[in-house]
């Protein structure tokens, strides 16, 4: 099991190239299950979750050809299995996004109940309810969700009672090959959902309302091959900006999409950062100043992303003043708090709200990753701590960040990976 050893105290300066978005890449790869032909997906991030998804597709009979430019060619003409087995799904909860495509293409699917990040209960009831509206019958046996639509999927109206990102993606993918029209209301508007929708359109799907909370899909009999380039990862981008702001440095992010980062950039400006955006870059400069504490409440897009919450806890821990951070999307997504407290942070956690009193500097300590974004916040805390911080179980961070220690080192951080 790998760990990171971080010696804090370096200001970060330089340039970071942002990778493709994990949360867009995963459903897009799953969508290729629906295409009986060759497709090419570009700008894939090199991440464990992406490898897991490619393995999953391979087990289902998809031909997968990766090249070293971050592109992959897939051909699902000879789909041979509709089973997503436990050994792969348990490492990646997002495997659930194969459910919609398998039902659409093969009219049946068996997906192990998901594992992945240990943040709250994370049920899939909304996915199931919505797919039932399109004519799928489900049973849950032996730890598997088994769905069948013997007569194929039939277009229908789905109103999500709660916004769900992968739930919206599953129904969107299923609707694309359903007979007739489908309407999805209270759909997630996250850029990753829109990227999936744009990819499906490139493969021949008919979708209106992309980017809004109402998606209208006119089912088509078949999809065909095409090319799609995955959008930049706004969460990776945001994580690096927070790292630089916390260390009072300056940087330029390249290959990013500032239009997807509005809420994050606003909070960084509130924290005192000078921010300048171009078509595909962001410059941030703290001019050597200590950040100011900010108040944050997570929300669905375009609100402040829950996937950036933990990183701002690390920022507030060393900021000037008091900041309040409230998690509204997931229960139990505050597991980084006790770890950061062990580094000296002054945090009063009351329910889903963390009240922070900023201190000048944290103290290095051995800490434990619990989930993907929590691990990122521990790395950031290590960068602004006195002495040595050891972050254990970095396999969590490898699920979502491409070579984070190399990118941080290029900015001047003192961080190394140690294989145990
Ligand atoms: C996706 C992202 C994740 C991000 C999250 C919220 C991927 C692969 N992951 O996760 O990084 O943190 O969106 O932006 O894209 N819920 C139910 N029943 C369901 C489904 C969800 O109650 O059937 C609840 C969840 O427990 C949670 C809320 O709805 O409280 C939102 O979850 P959801 O948007 O579904 O998150 P994911 O799609 O799993």
Q: Is 165 in the pocket of ligand 1 (CB under 6 A)?
A: yes
Q: Is 130 in the pocket of ligand 1 (CB under 6 A)?
A: no
| 366 C-beta neighbours (distance < 10 Å), count | 14
Identify the residue whose C-alpha is closest to ligand 1 atom 1.
Answer: 165
197 CA distance to ligand 1 centroid (A)? 18
The answer to whether 265 and 282 are in contact (CB under 8 A) is yes
Q: Is 22 in the pocket of ligand 1 (CB under 6 A)?
A: no
Q: Which atom of ligand 1 is nearest to the CA of 22?
A: 8
Could you give the CA distance from residue 313 to residue 341 in angstroms, rounded to a whole number? 11
Q: Is 122 in the pocket of ligand 1 (CB under 6 A)?
A: yes
123 CA distance to ligand 1 centroid (A)? 8
Residue 171 is encoded by which pair of tokens? 């129904």
Q: What size, in residues, is the chain?
A: 420
State how far the alpha carbon of 315 is from the alpha carbons of 53, 199, 320, 400, 409, in Å: 32, 35, 10, 20, 19
247 CA distance to ligand 1 centroid (A)? 31
Residue 330 is encoded by which pair of tokens? 């997931």
Q: Is 117 in the pocket of ligand 1 (CB under 6 A)?
A: no
Return all residues near 126 (Cβ < 8 A) that are at least 6 apart.
160, 161, 162, 164, 167
Q: Is 30 in the pocket of ligand 1 (CB under 6 A)?
A: no
Q: Which atom of ligand 1 is nearest to the CA of 300?
A: 14
Identify the residue whose C-alpha is closest to ligand 1 atom 13.
Answer: 165
pLDDT tens, 349-398? Answer: 999 999 999 999 999 999 988 888 899 999 999 999 999 999 998 988 99
119 CA distance to ligand 1 centroid (A)? 10
Residue whose CB lies within 8 A of the most ligand 1 atoms, among 165, 327, 377, for a mutation test: 165
Q: Is 166 in the pocket of ligand 1 (CB under 6 A)?
A: yes
Q: For every one of its 420 residues, what pLDDT tens digit does the chain have, with 9 covering 90 and above?
A: 899 999 999 999 999 999 999 999 999 999 999 999 999 999 999 999 999 999 999 999 999 999 988 899 999 999 999 999 999 988 888 999 999 999 999 999 999 986 544 545 568 999 999 999 999 999 988 889 999 999 999 999 999 999 999 999 999 999 999 999 999 999 999 999 999 999 999 999 999 999 999 999 999 999 998 999 999 999 999 999 999 999 999 999 999 999 999 999 999 999 999 999 999 999 999 999 999 999 999 999 999 999 999 999 999 999 999 999 999 999 889 999 999 999 999 999 999 999 999 999 999 999 988 888 899 999 999 999 999 999 998 988 999 999 999 999 999 999 999 988
Q: Which residues are catalytic?
A: 117
Identify the residue whose C-alpha is closest to ligand 1 atom 32.
Answer: 164
Q: Is 162 in the pocket of ligand 1 (CB under 6 A)?
A: yes
Is pTM beyond 0.95? Reply is: yes
87 CA distance to ligand 1 centroid (A)? 21
Identify the residue whose C-alpha is closest to ligand 1 atom 34.
Answer: 164
pLDDT tens, 95-115? Answer: 999 999 999 999 999 999 865
Q: Is 12 in the pocket of ligand 1 (CB under 6 A)?
A: no
303 CA distance to ligand 1 centroid (A)? 15
Q: Is 127 in the pocket of ligand 1 (CB under 6 A)?
A: yes
248 CA distance to ligand 1 centroid (A)? 33
The answer to whether 187 and 214 are in contact (CB under 8 A) is yes
Q: Which atom of ligand 1 is nearest to the CA of 169?
A: 38
């Amino acid at each position: 099991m790998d760990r990171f050893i971080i010696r804090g105290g370096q200001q970060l300066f330089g340039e970071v190239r942002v990778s493709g978005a994990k949360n867009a890449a995963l459903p897009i790869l799953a969508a290729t299950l629906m295409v009986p032909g060759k497709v090419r997906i570009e700008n894939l991030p090199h991440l464990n979750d992406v490898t897991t998804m490619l393995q999953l597709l391979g087990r289902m009979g998809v031909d997968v050809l990766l090249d070293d430019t971050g592109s992959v060619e897939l051909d699902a003409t000879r789909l041979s299995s509709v089973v997503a087995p436990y050994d792969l799904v348990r490492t990646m909860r997002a495997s659930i996004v194969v459910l919609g495509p398998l039902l659409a293409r093969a009219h049946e699917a068996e997906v192990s109940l998901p594992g992945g990040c240990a943040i709250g209960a994370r049920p899939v009831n909304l996915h199931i309810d919505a797919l039932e509206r399109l004519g799928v019958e489900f049973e849950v046996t032996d730890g598997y969700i088994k769905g069948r639509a013997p007569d194929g999927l039939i277009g229908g109206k789905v109103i999500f009672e709660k916004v769900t990102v992968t739930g919206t993606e599953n129904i969107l993918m299923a609707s694309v090959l359903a007979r007739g029209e489908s309407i999805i209301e209270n759909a997630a508007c996250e850029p990753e959902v829109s990227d999936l929708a744009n990819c499906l359109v490139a493969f021949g799907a008919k979708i209106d309302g992309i980017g809004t909370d109402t998606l209208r899909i006119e089912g088509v009999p078949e999809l065909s091959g095409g090319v799609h380039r995955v959008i930049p990862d706004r969460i990776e981008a945001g994580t690096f900006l927070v790292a630089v702001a916390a260390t009072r440095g300056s940087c330029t992010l390249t290959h990013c999409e500032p239009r997807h980062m509005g809420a994050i950039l606003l909070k960084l400006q509130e924290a005192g950062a000078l921010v300048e955006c171009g078509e595909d870059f962001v410059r941030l400069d703290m001019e050597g100043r200590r950040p100011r504490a900010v108040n944050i409440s997570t929300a669905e897009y375009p609100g402040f992303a829950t996937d950036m919450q933990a990183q701002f806890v690390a920022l507030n821990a060393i900021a000037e003043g008091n900041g309040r951070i409230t998690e509204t999307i997931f229960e139990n997504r505050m597991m980084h708090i006790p770890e950061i407290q062990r580094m000296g942070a002054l945090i009063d956690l009351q329910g889903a709200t963390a009240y922070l009193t900023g201190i000048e500097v944290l103290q290095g300590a051995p800490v434990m990753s619990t989930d993907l974004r929590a691990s990122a916040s521990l790395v950031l805390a290590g960068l602004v701590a006195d002495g040595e911080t050891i972050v254990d179980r970095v396999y969590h961070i490898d699920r979502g960040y491409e070579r984070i220690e190399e990118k941080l080192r290029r900015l001047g951080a003192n961080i190394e990976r140690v294989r145990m």
